[in-house]
């Protein structure tokens, strides 16, 4: 070694340091591999347990998928950070990276984060489920899918409406499917001079003979208003939610038919004009 300008003692010291460093690196690699396999085994077991738990207690596939995805992401992030720290990478570096990435993502996805938070609220509190009929954001339809960012409605004329979950979670939602029974309200106008008692009896008889109309509460018929062109009768009938609209439409048709048989007029709008100076 003298020919290279390095003494034997220095060479021996460098050799010893190299052996020590190689041994330390080898130990770190072995420890990192051991940590990786053990941590991966534990994370896999925990994820399988979480999946079984969610399937037993929750009927929301979207929420289950999100929680499983979140759990998987956190689990593998823990493995990566643990392996890196075992190899000697300082933990403060990861904190700085995650902090900067979180800030950048938050600024870039403000609207999406609002929808994301709304989706979590909808999936957690379940104001509606797939298959329910709701009125929301000016749309009426059947809930087809509830995802993390968007809710999909299918309207009754077979259009798909995609509503962001942020506004949806922060505004009024009318759910028409949560109650077993609903009340139908019909308004019928008859001409002035009509025998109101007879008209009410005809309407009441129609719904009393309809098996879809509930007996309790009983159908209710009353004179509701003296309109500009008609006497207005209000009809309130309870039915099962699935029967309400068929009963409503059939009832309107039956009222029109029975009124024609009994000579009861359903007037059109009209005005009486008085001439101030006949000449």
State the Cα–Cα distance between residues 110 and 116, nearest whole angstrom. 10
The partner residues of 237 in beta bridges, in order of sequence, read: 184
Find the helix packing angle between 110-125 and 61-86, rounded to 10°: 120
% of residues, the chain, pLDDT over 90? 39
Are the C-beta atoms of 145 and 128 separated by less than 8 Å? no
Same fold, 2-108 and 127-175: no
Residue 272 pLDDT greater than 60, yes or no: yes
Using one digit for the tens of pLDDT, what is the confidence trace for 100-117? Answer: 656 555 554 455 677 888
% of residues, the chain, pLDDT over 70? 80
State the Cα–Cα distance between residues 141 and 136, nearest whole angstrom. 9
Using one digit for the tens of pLDDT, what is the confidence trace for 34-88? Answer: 888 888 888 888 888 888 877 776 666 666 666 777 778 788 888 887 777 777 7
Average confidence (pLDDT) over 186-200: 93
**Structural domain boundaries in the chain:** 2-108, 127-175, 181-261
The single-letter DSSP state of residue 171 is S
Are the C-beta atoms of 101 and 77 separated by less than 8 Å? no
CA-wise closest residue to 212 among 187, 182, 178: 182
Contacts 24+ apart (CB under 8 A), 149-154: 149/112, 149/115, 149/116, 149/119, 150/115, 150/119, 151/122
Q: Which CATH architecture best describes the domain 181-261? A: 2-Layer Sandwich (3.30)
State the Cα–Cα distance between residues 127 and 275, nearest whole angstrom. 60
Whole-number pLDDT of residue 1:
47
Consecutive H or E run containing 158: none
State the Cα–Cα distance between residues 218 and 180, nearest whole angstrom. 16
Whole-number pLDDT of residue 161:
94
Using one digit for the tens of pLDDT, what is the confidence trace for 242-258? Answer: 899 999 999 999 999 99
Q: Which CATH architecture best describes the domain 127-175? A: Roll (2.30)
Average confidence (pLDDT) over 181-185: 93
State the Cα–Cα distance between residues 247 and 74, nearest whole angstrom. 53
Q: Report the top-level CATH class of 2-108.
A: mainly alpha
Are the C-beta atoms of 38 and 86 separated by less than 8 Å? no
């Amino acid at each position: 070694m003298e020919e290279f300008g390095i003494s034997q003692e220095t060479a021996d010291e460098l050799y010893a340091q190299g052996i020590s460093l190689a041994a330390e690196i080898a130990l770190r690699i072995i420890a990192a591999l051991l940590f990786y396999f053990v941590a991966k085994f534990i994370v896999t077991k925990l994820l399988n347990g979480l999946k079984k738990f969610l399937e037993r207690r929750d009927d929301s596939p979207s929420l289950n998928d999100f929680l499983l995805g979140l759990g998987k992401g956190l689990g593998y992030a823990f493995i990566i950070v643990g392996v890196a720290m075992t190899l000697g990478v300082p933990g403060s570096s990861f904190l700085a990276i995650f902090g900067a990435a979180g800030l950048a993502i938050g600024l870039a996805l403000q609207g999406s984060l609002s929808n994301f938070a709304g989706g979590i609220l909808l999936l957690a509190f379940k104001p509606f489920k797939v298959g329910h009929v709701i009125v929301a954001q000016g749309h009426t339809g059947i809930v087809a899918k509830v995802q993390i960012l968007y809710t999909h409605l299918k309207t009754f004329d077979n259009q798909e409406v995609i509503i962001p979950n942020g506004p949806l979670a922060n505004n009024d939602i009318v759910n028409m499917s949560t109650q077993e029974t609903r009340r139908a309200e019909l308004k019928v106008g008859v001409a002035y001079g009509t025998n109101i008692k007879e008209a009410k009896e005809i309407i009441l008889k129609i719904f009393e003979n309809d098996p879809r109309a509930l007996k309790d509460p009983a159908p209710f018929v009353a004179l509701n208003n003296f309109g500009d062109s008609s006497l207005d009768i209000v009809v309130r009938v309870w039915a099962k939610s699935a029967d309400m609209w068929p009963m409503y439409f059939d009832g309107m048709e039956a009222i029109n038919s029975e009124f024609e048989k009994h000579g009861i007029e359903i007037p059109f709008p009209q005005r009486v004009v008085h001439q101030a100076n006949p000449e």
